[in-house]
Amino acid sequence: MKYEELANDILAHVGGKENVRSLAHCVTRLRFKLVDESKADTEYLKKREGVITVIQSGGQYQVVIGNHVPDVYAAVNTVGGLNGGETKAEDEGPKGSLLNQFIDMISKIFQPILGALAATGMLKGLAAILVAAGMSTTDGTYVLIQAAGDGFFNFLPIFLAYTASKHFKMNSFTAMAVAAAMVYPGLVNPAEIEPLYTLFAGSIFESPIYMTFLGLPVIMMSYASSVVPILLATYLGSKVESVLKKIIPDVVKLFLVPFCTLLIVVPLTILFVGPVSTWVATLIGALVSWVYNLSPIVAGAILGGGWQVFVMFGLHWGFIPIAINNLATQGYDQLLATTLGVSFAQIGVVLAIMLKTKEAKVKQLSIPAFISGLFGVTEPAIYGITLPMKRPFQLSCIAGAISGAFAGLFKLTGYRVGGLGVFALPSYIDPNGAVGFNFWAAIIVCAVGFVVGFLLMFFSKVPVLYGETETVVPEFTTSPEEGTKKDVSAAAEKDLIASPMTGEMVLLSDVPDEAFATAALGKGIAVLPTIGKVYAPANATVSLLFPTQHAIGLTTENGTEILIHIGMDTVQLEGKGFTSNVKQGDKVLAGQLLMEFDIEFIQNAGYEVITPIIVTNSNDYLDVITTKESQLSQGDYLLSVIA
């Protein structure tokens, strides 16, 4: 048996037959479900000849093999006696720590909005610069620029609802409706109205009640710019929606499922998610205030180190009332002053990553993340770079803790509610206008956060985020020895490949699957289709047609091997939503209709339709050049291979 040795080795290093719950395969990879993933030797398998890489995602341990995966799959079944890959049913094994699961979830949910997040953060910074330069906040120029930047952040829960719905497999527009209710202006404390009564009056959990729902008190708070509450709401909504789909008749599902989902989820979110986060935040705020009175240095380290985490979970709201009360009663606040250096710690880490990383995309994201972070808008840096990398985020928290300890040491004092980042510094000038020690202490705290963050990251290994390293494009010049000019357009052989579908061009590195994004399976490009049809990109032979019809392999007349993989993890649909118009072995002409697929059905089932189109024998060529056009129609130029 050709792959017996490889099959035995793979089986041994996934923890043995007894650790395999089930085994399936798609067009490129073995998909194991393991009893305990920690028993698998991932690093060994990644380096093992015959294995391209290993991906752990969605409860599956995926060993990426390549085009000959069916043969390896059969060999693993044979040597392991897995009876077609299925073993006895058991509860799913662990999927990693809760923290890692949370970070991975956050990273995937934020990935689609990173560009807009970075851009709007820079716009907020630009608006702050205009005000600092003397422009009035009522000036139309400022108002429009501020709206362009702040609008995205204010309604961030709605954008997150869309991406989270994909992750939790909930109807996207129902999830967005839940988020819209959360940021609805009428659900924020109305300052001009007297409360009906006060809940827990006299305690640290004191909460004014302005309205009730079926007699239950509604504790109102702002969800603008929040992250975790909408994620919890979407997760809850996905579970409620799943149950409703099973019990509501098909004839009325279209409107009754979202109706009942909203009727259940919105009240539960407002009644319970809000109060719990409010009370937890209040308790944390009270504890930190108590610690500050005992030791400003310790409190500063705790608040500076944990501030970014508090903001992520919305727990920072517990500190805001304390700070505002301090300003109102004392004319100054020292509690929130301990967080001044946190954003500088974050951008110090980002700058070190930008200088050290070999990934072109990370460099590209780092620049706007650094700029917006300079003005206190650190979301692009956190969610786009440091949090997905994990270790850099931890280092930024350590740097924030050290800067907070310095703020406590200096008893740094804020005299007014000011801006963020560099625009927070004027808040530390004495009320009489004198630039005294307190202002210079604020400068030192920012510098400490920045320098410590930079140094911690600079002397640490930068984790690989996307797996795409910078490449040097070879230059073809005249060779004196040969007396000939090696020119790509003249001497190099090419195979031109047209776009097999209509849609939006997506860089391969942006595909939400490591095996494709890292080009482990071959170089290429991806398309986010708007029409569910796949056409032959060149004259070719159908060399592979997967039984579930979600992927097709073609070999062109010039020998280029093309894989068109419709969607992510769509093998799980088992052919539903896909129709093939050809069979394996057929010869097809460029422009011939190969396959049809139902975009709406696939998306409603919770799967991405983004379609990688890769050259699986890329190593046989000098390079693969892809189109720069953002919008593609079927038949447009897509890529070319250079021999």
Give the separation between CA 267 and CA 421, rounded to whole angstroms. Answer: 36
Burial 215-239, CB ≥16 within 10 A → b, else e: eebbbbbbbebbbbbbbbbbbbbbe
The strand pair at 593-597 and 578-580 is best described as antiparallel
Closest CA to 554 of 615, 612, 621: 615
Q: Which of 167, 316, 550, 565 is catalytic?
A: 565
With beta carbons less than 8 A apart as the criterion, state whether 61 and 37 touch. Answer: yes
* Alpha-carbon distance values, 92 to 61, 357, 570, 636 (Å): 12, 36, 21, 45
CA torsion 625-629-634-640 (nearest 10°) is -10
Give the separation between CA 36 and CA 545, rounded to whole angstroms. Answer: 33
Secondary structure E strands in 103-210: 197-199, 207-209
Angle at 237 between CA 284 and CA 257, to 5 degrees: 155
Q: Which two tokens stand for residue 199?
A: 């809940």
Neighbouring C-alpha atoms within 13 Å toward the C-beta of 403:
35
Q: Which of 13, 25, 26, 316 is catalytic?
A: 26
β-bridge partners, 611? 527
- 3-class SS at 282? helix
Q: Which two tokens stand for residue 98?
A: 């809760």
Residue 26 appears among annotated catalytic residues: yes
DSSP code of residue 333? B
Q: How many residues does the chain have?
A: 643
Kind and range of the H or E element at 505? strand 503-506
Neighbours of 100 (CB within 10 A): 12
DSSP code of residue 463? P
Taking the mean position of all CA atoms in its chain, how far away is CA 82?
Answer: 36
Give the separation between CA 616 and CA 562, rounded to whole angstroms. Answer: 6
Give the separation between CA 513 and CA 520, rounded to whole angstroms. Answer: 11
Q: Which two tokens stand for residue 356?
A: 């050290």
DSSP code of residue 273? I
Give the separation between CA 540 and CA 213, rounded to whole angstroms. Answer: 64
Give the separation between CA 122 and CA 612, rounded to whole angstroms. Answer: 31
Catalytic residue list: 26, 565
